[in-house]
Amino acid sequence: MVDVSFDVEPGEIFVVMGLSGSGKSTLIRCINRIHEPTAGTILLDDTDVTRATMSELREIRRNRVSMVFQHFALFPHKSVQENVEYGLRIKEMPNDERSDRAEQALEMVGLGGWGSYRPESLSGGMRQRVGLARALAAGTDVLLMDEAFSALDPLIKRDMQDELLNIHDKLGVTIIFITHDLNEALKLGERTAIMRDGRVEQIGSASQIINSPGSEYIHDFTRDVDRGRVLTLWSVMRPIKRIDNPDCSVDEAMKTINAIDGDCCVIITVDGEPERCISRENLIEAAEAGISNCSEIGIPTHALPMSTVLMEALTVVSEGECLTAVNHRGQLVGHANPTDIISALMQADFPTAAAHS
Amino acid sequence: MDKIVIPLDAWADSFIPWLATNFRDFFQIIKTPVEWTFDQMNSGMVGLTDGIGWIAIIAIAWRLAGWKVATFTAVSMGLLGGWNPILPHLDVWDATMTTLALIVTSVLISVIIGVPLGIAASKNDKFEFVLRPALDAMQTTPSFVYLIPIVMLIGLGAVGGVFAVVVFAIPPMIRLTNLGIREVDQEVVEAACSFGATPRQVLFDVELPLAMRTIMAGLNQTLMLSLSMVVIASIIGAPGLAQLVLRGIRAMDFGSGAVGGVGLVLLAIVLDRMTQSLGQSDKDPSQTRSLSKAITKLKGLIRIGGANSSSL
């Protein structure tokens, strides 16, 4: 690997995507030094992992960073419960606390009550749930996932991805996820790094990678991406302003809307809850019709999580509704208008392919 | 042109006496625990009242390998003299017990030395590289060649016999321990490491349990090689059934040879069946629980042993 540098924010899902041989598995193993990097630095907060002594490194592995493996890497001679407890046993946690934590972790991945089974009697998807529970039970704040879902059937893979996103929402752990599947990368990753031959080709959000591929190589990849299932509201949403007064004047709304450049709208909220959405056109029409009060204009809103993929957003929203995006705490962050969504979906190939032909 | 001959024979001739004189104390020290172990086992097993030893072996066979092997053990061991005085037999019980003591001592030493060496070889490629030709030499050097140095360094009798047996029988123990640990799925080892396990924890939690089937196969091989080697070791005075075979060769006494031979074969089959079951598990076809099974079985053995000694 040469010249691979990136920062991962706390609580972020950062995906490293590349084909086999691109160095992504080596990269993730360098982070907890299962592979010894020959050069470079890895900082975990202010701790330099690359310089840690063996015992410091063990402390980091016990308390900060845990890992989920491609082929599950469960201990075949231990029960599911013992597998999940393993990280805690290494930390010498007392028995009853340990089994409580393990049971919680198993609950979380939907395997409550399976503790006494052997890994061999579980299906692939369930085994990887155990692998995930084992990493979660360790209570670390960074989760390294090495092609964790690549060995699973497509349907189970999708379930696991959704489940991972849920768990991430609940726990807020930082996840570094390795995959060779671009769709998976763009679905899970807040940001994705694309690797090739041990180098990073591009780092960016799903929409950045799809809409402005950094190289020919990435463009080739993104051609096959099903944009409707990959791009999220977040990538097309526009800023909003809110006015917490249903009876505000048209002038006031106009002033608020003009404070932001470009196409946007104001959301009329009542006690913080969105009620109506008013666009610039609405306001102009109202002014021409001589209406001076906002209580009668605008369209109802439909709130969706900003991680909703565009395809789903289009099917859920009905005509005459304004689509708003909320973050995982339910706060309004933006709105998306149907034209933007359609153009994002249609954009397949168009700016760059035109340039090539 | 004159031939220039390397005087290997002369070197060897002077080297062994040199070793014997200068390292006398060393050989005495390593000899003592071996002698003690063998004497304890031999006198313990030979001194048992009629039938007790027989029942103990059947119980062990039943515990380790189930009732089929136990039945076979009962018949074959009875035939060698275990069921005296109830049924007719070959009257070689004491010799059988002595051979068993010799073999158990040899296998014990092979495990104590062989498993750590195997672990070391699996962890260190250079060490394995050095060890491998040594093991090849131990298995291929005609055993008669090292019988004489052993006599000079250790002496005649059972202890010299144990050393000769260990030299010949220890290689599979080392090789299969090494192989077993190297064969453990690397991702599983990485998983243990990734949770902050120390090398010792990785070894005992993951590598040894997962290598246990292969290690047990090594134990079985070592045991079988020991049985074939006791016959050759009888030349330097190793006691037991093999002495009957040796008498058969020396005095053209085919009868004696046949009795000794039959005894060794029956003992070999019994021990083979018993130890094979250590590596496998009868109920669980995936055989991933071999360590816990083996430990349960060994615990059972210790209980039986305890019960026996207290009943005496």
Please report the DSSP string for A11-40 in residue order. Answer: T-EEEEEE-TTSSHHHHHHHHTTSSPPSS-
pLDDT single digits (tens) A204-214: 888 788 878 88
pLDDT at residue B223, as a whole number: 94
Q: How many Å lie between the alpha carbon of B186 and the closest alpha carbon of chain A?
A: 9
Residue closest to B289 by CA, chosen among A69, A114, A75, A83? A75
Answer with the residue of higher pLDDT: A352 or A87: A87
Q: Does residue B282 carry a pLDDT above 90?
A: no
User: For residue B214, is pLDDT > 80?
Assistant: yes
Structural domain count, chain B: 1
Mean pLDDT of B38-58: 90
Instruction: Give residue B268's pLDDT.
Output: 94
Nearest to B188 among A29, A73, A144 (CB): A73
Which value does ipTM take for this structure? 0.75
- The residues of B whose Cβ lies within 8 A of any Cβ of A are 185, 187-188, 190-198, 201, 205-206, 209-210, 286, 288-292
Instruction: Give the pLDDT band (50/70/90) at residue B293.
Output: low
Structural domain including B244 reads 44-311
Mean pLDDT, rounded, for B243-271: 92
Is position B231 within any domain?
A: yes
Question: Which of A61, A75, A118 lies closest to B194 in CB terms?
Answer: A61
pLDDT of residue B76 exceeding 90 = yes
The answer to whether the CB atoms of B191 and A75 lie below 8 A apart is yes
Q: Which residue has the higher pLDDT, A237 or B292?
A: A237
- Closest residue in A to B211 (Cα) is A77
Mean pLDDT for A34-42 is: 89
Spacing of C-alpha B34 from chain mean position: 13
So what CATH class is A234-344? alpha beta
Task: From chain A, pick out residues whose CB is under 8 angstroms from the CB of B287.
Answer: none
Q: Give residue-wise pLDDT tens across range B96-148.
A: 999 999 999 999 999 999 999 999 999 999 999 999 999 999 989 998 888 98
Q: What is the CATH number of the domain that holds B82?
A: 1.10.3720.10
> Between chains, do B190 and A91 touch, taking CB under 8 Å as contact?
no
pLDDT of residue B298: 63
Q: Is residue B20 situated within a structural domain?
A: no
Q: Cα(A88)–Cα(A327) distance, rounded to whole angstroms?
A: 33
Q: For residue B198, what pLDDT is reported?
A: 93
CA nearest to B194 within chain A: A61
Residue B29 belongs to a domain: no
Q: Which residue of A has its CA nearest to B293?
A: A77
Per-residue pLDDT tens digits for A141-193: 999 999 999 988 888 888 899 889 889 988 889 999 999 988 888 888 889 99
Indicate the pLDDT class of residue B80, thresholds 50, 70 and 90.
very high
Token duo for residue A296? 């009668």
Domain with CATH 3.40.50.300 in chain A: 13-227
Q: Which of A57, A69, A77 is closest, CB to CB, to B191?
A: A69
DSSP reduced 3-state for A272: coil
User: Across the interface, do B286 and A59 touch by the CB < 8 Å criterion?
Assistant: no
Provide the pLDDT for residue B302.
57
Given a cut of 50, whether residue B199 has pLDDT beyond it is yes
Interface contact flag, B187 A71, Cβ < 8 Å: yes
Question: ∠ at Cα B99 (B257, B19), nearest 5°?
Answer: 105
What mean pLDDT value characterizes chain B? 88
User: Closest partner residue to A90 among B187, B201, B292, by Cβ?
Assistant: B201
Interface residue of B184, B194, B198, B203 to substitute, partner A, most A CBs within 10 Å: B194
Cβ A62–B196 below 8 Å, yes or no?
A: yes
Mean pLDDT of chain A: 84
- Provide the number of CB pairs (under 8 Å) joining chain A to chain B: 72
Mean per-residue pLDDT, A110-116 = 89
How many CB atoms sit inside 10 A of residue A101's CB?
Answer: 19
Mean pLDDT of B36-47: 91
Which of A12-26, A306-320, B34-48, B179-193 has the least mean pLDDT? A306-320
B26 assigned to some structural domain = no
What DSSP assignment string belongs to chain B?
-------HHHHHHHHHHHHHHHTHHHHHHHHHHHHHHHHHHHHHHHTSPTTHHHHHHHHHHHHHHHHHHHHHHHHHHIIIIITTTTS---S-HHHHHHHHHHHHHHHHHHHHHHHHHHHHHHH-HHHHHHHHHHHHHHHHS-HHHHHHHHHHHT-SSHHHHHHHHHHHHHHHHHHHHHHHHHHS-HHHHHHHHHTT--HHHHIIIIIHHHHHHHHHHHHHHHHHHHHHHHHHHGGGT--SHHHHHHHHHHTT-HHHHHHHHHHHHHHHHHHHHHHHHHHS-SS-TT-TTHHHHHHHHHHHHHHHHHHHHHH-
Q: pLDDT value at position A352? A: 42
Q: Are B202 and B276 in contact (CB under 8 A)?
A: no
Q: Do B206 and A76 touch (CB under 8 A)?
A: no
Task: With beta carbons under 8 A apart, name residues in chain A contacting B209.
Answer: 77
A267-281, B260-274, B277-291: the lowest-pLDDT one:
B277-291
pLDDT for A262 equals 65
Q: What is the pLDDT of residues A302-326, one digit of tens each?
A: 888 887 888 888 887 777 778 888 8
Q: Which CATH number fits domain A13-227: 3.40.50.300, 3.40.50.1000, 3.10.129.10, 3.40.50.10860?
A: 3.40.50.300
pLDDT at residue B300, as a whole number: 60
Indicate whether B95 pLDDT > 50: yes
Instruction: Give the pLDDT score at B115.
Output: 96
CATH 3.10.580.10 location in chain A = 234-344
The whole-number pLDDT of residue B303 equals 57
Q: Which residue of B has its CA nearest to A119?
A: B288
Residue A198's pLDDT band (boundaries 50, 70, 90)? confident
Question: Smallest Cα–Cα separation from B85: which of B52, B54, B51?
Answer: B51
CA gap B32, A242 in Å, rounded: 92
Question: How high is the pLDDT of residue A308?
Answer: 82
Residue B75 located in a structural domain: yes
Judged by average pLDDT, the poorest of A109-123, A274-288, B215-229 is A274-288
What's the whole-model pTM score? 0.77
Write down the pLDDT at residue B288: 42
Rounded to the nearest angstrom, the minimum Cα separation between A40 and chain B is 20
Output the pLDDT for position B311: 40
Distance from CA of A12 to the nearest CA of B (A): 21
Q: pLDDT-derived band of residue B289, with 50, 70 and 90 as boundaries? A: very low
> Is pLDDT above 70 for A348?
no
Question: How does residue B20 score in pLDDT terms, banded at 50, 70 and 90?
Answer: confident
Mean pLDDT of B215-243: 93
Give the percent of chain B with pLDDT over 90: 66
Q: Are A61 and B195 a contacting pair at CB < 8 A?
A: yes
Highest mean pLDDT among A290-294, A318-322, B27-31, B108-112: B108-112
Q: Is residue B30 included in any domain, yes or no?
A: no
Specify the DSSP class assigned to residue A123: -
> Is B288's CB within 8 Å of A70's CB?
no
pLDDT-derived band of residue B294, with 50, 70 and 90 as boundaries?
low
Q: Provide the pLDDT confidence category of residue A82 given band limits of 50, 70 and 90.
A: very high
Query: Could you tell me if residue B210 is inside a domain?
Result: yes
The sheet carrying A13-18 orders its strands as A65-68, A142-146, A174-179, A13-18, A191-196, A199-204
